């Protein structure tokens, strides 16, 4: 079966911020990458991005054979698709554009090649009708920015996506160290962006209402609940909040206060005044620190946290193996 052919060669369609980060990740995982983008100067920008990401990827661990020299670039879509085993599409977020693109890709690619879209905003059910012959091989494979540092990939099928496509996409992403989730219904924002929206709504409300400064709400999150969310998910944390009684006990205790808090949470309007409050408070927090300094800070800590969790998982796995 051609379906069992190992995935060795990835075609990246669209090499903006997300596409370039995917390219760097795939290269670091020892895969071949052929990238395509019609924008002038795209190849230079892509190669610069990959080079700039390489030290971080090296720290996180390169796969055998990983090399920046496994990257090729062509502005010709058809050439990029030749002998591709898997496509990661990162085109503009417009339904008409994507439908047309998927029509072209569908004609160029043999039917076993999965076309995965990084789209955060357009459901696959609206994109895949463009792929007339084989819409079943189209799926959302949505990363979290920046994909080369953040392991999450959200997998969502459209109405015509096959179960096999979802299974194979999940296996592939997992094989290269991604943490996958399967979203069982198409929802605006999939999962992760909805969680961000839910949190930002209250954060922004509290800042705009002068309950707390941007600096202080950032402290409250990143030295409080955020610390825990950096190491474990909400549901398992709820389970542990119940002590020996687990989730059942936790919901008995938390259910009442939680329902009461829900009634008081903010529901702000995105007015210019509202945005102005956020902007002013962020600038007071940032002070003289540059974007570059803050990015370095964020990425150094992100890499450190991913390393910490990977090491811990290896330790746990070796303890388990020793006990068996």
Which residues 200-229 are close enough to bind a second copy by CB under 8 A? Answer: 200-203, 206-207, 209-229
CB of 58 or CB of 145, closer to a second copy? 145
CB of 132 or CB of 252, closer to a second copy? 252
The answer to the question of residue 108 lying near a second copy (CB under 8 A) is no
For residue 30, the SS3 value is: coil
State the Cα–Cα distance between residues 176 and 153, nearest whole angstrom: 11
Give backbone dihedrals phi and psi of 153, rounded to 5 degrees, phi first. -135, 125
In a 13 Å sphere around the CA of 242, the CA atoms on its Cβ side amount to 17
The answer to the question of residue 318 lying near a second copy (CB under 8 A) is no
Cα 38 to the chain's mean position, in Å? 24
| Interacting residue with a second copy among 248, 321, 322, 323 (CB under 8 A) | 248
State the Cα–Cα distance between residues 135 and 128, nearest whole angstrom: 5
State the Cα–Cα distance between residues 260 and 128, nearest whole angstrom: 43
The answer to the question of residue 251 lying near a second copy (CB under 8 A) is yes
The answer to the question of residue 191 lying near a second copy (CB under 8 A) is yes
Q: Which stretch binds a second copy (CB under 8 A): 32-40, 53-61, 122-130, 276-284?
A: 276-284
The answer to the question of residue 232 lying near a second copy (CB under 8 A) is yes
CB of 82 or CB of 240, closer to a second copy? 240
CA angle 132, 107, 114 (to 5 degrees): 80
CB of 83 or CB of 222, closer to a second copy? 222
| Interacting residue with a second copy among 5, 297, 314, 318 (CB under 8 A) | 297
State the Cα–Cα distance between residues 129 and 149, nearest whole angstrom: 32
Taken as a whole, the chain contains a residue count of: 324
Task: Say what angle helices 214-222 and 272-286 make with each other, to 10 degrees.
Answer: 70
Tokens of 114: 């999965």
The answer to the question of residue 317 lying near a second copy (CB under 8 A) is no
Least distance CB 18 / a second copy (angstroms): 13
| Interacting residue with a second copy among 51, 78, 236, 317 (CB under 8 A) | 236
CB of 131 or CB of 149, closer to a second copy? 149
């Amino acid at each position: 079966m051609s379906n069992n052919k190992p995935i060795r060669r990835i075609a990246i369609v669209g090499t903006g911020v997300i596409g370039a980060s995917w390219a760097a990740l795939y290269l670091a995982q020892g895969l071949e990458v052929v990238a395509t983008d019609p924008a002038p100067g795209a190849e230079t920008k892509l190669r610069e991005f990959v080079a700039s990401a390489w030290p971080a990827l090296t720290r996180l661990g390169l796969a055998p054979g990983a090399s920046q020299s496994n990257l090729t670039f062509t502005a010709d879509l058809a050439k990029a698709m030749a002998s591709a085993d898997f496509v990661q599409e990162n085109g503009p977020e417009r339904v008409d554009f994507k439908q047309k693109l998927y029509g072209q890709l569908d004609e160029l690619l043999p039917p076993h090649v999965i076309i995965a879209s990084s789209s955060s905003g357009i459901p696959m059910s609206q994109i895949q009708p463009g792929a007339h012959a084989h819409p079943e091989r189209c799926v959302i494979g949505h990363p979290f920015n920046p994909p080369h540092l953040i392991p999450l990939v959200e997998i969502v099928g459209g109405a015509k996506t096959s179960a096999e496509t979802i299974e194979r996409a999940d296996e592939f992403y997992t094989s290269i160290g991604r943490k996958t989730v399967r979203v069982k219904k198409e929802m605006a924002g999939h999962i992760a962006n909805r969680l961000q929206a839910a949190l930002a709504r209250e954060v922004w409300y509290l800042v705009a209402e002068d309950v707390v400064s941007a600096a202080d709400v950032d402290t409250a999150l990143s030295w409080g609940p955020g610390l825990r969310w950096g190491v474990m998910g909400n549901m398992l944390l709820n389970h542990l909040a119940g002590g020996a009684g687990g989730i059942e006990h936790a919901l008995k205790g938390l259910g009442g206060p939680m329902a009461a808090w829900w009634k008081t949470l903010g529901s702000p309007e995105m007015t210019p005044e509202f945005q102005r409050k956020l902007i002013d408070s962020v600038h007071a927090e940032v002070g003289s620190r540059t974007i570059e300094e803050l990015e370095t800070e964020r990425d150094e800590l992100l890499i450190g946290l991913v390393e910490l969790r990977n090491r811990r998982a290896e330790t746990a796995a070796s303890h388990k193996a020793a006990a068996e």
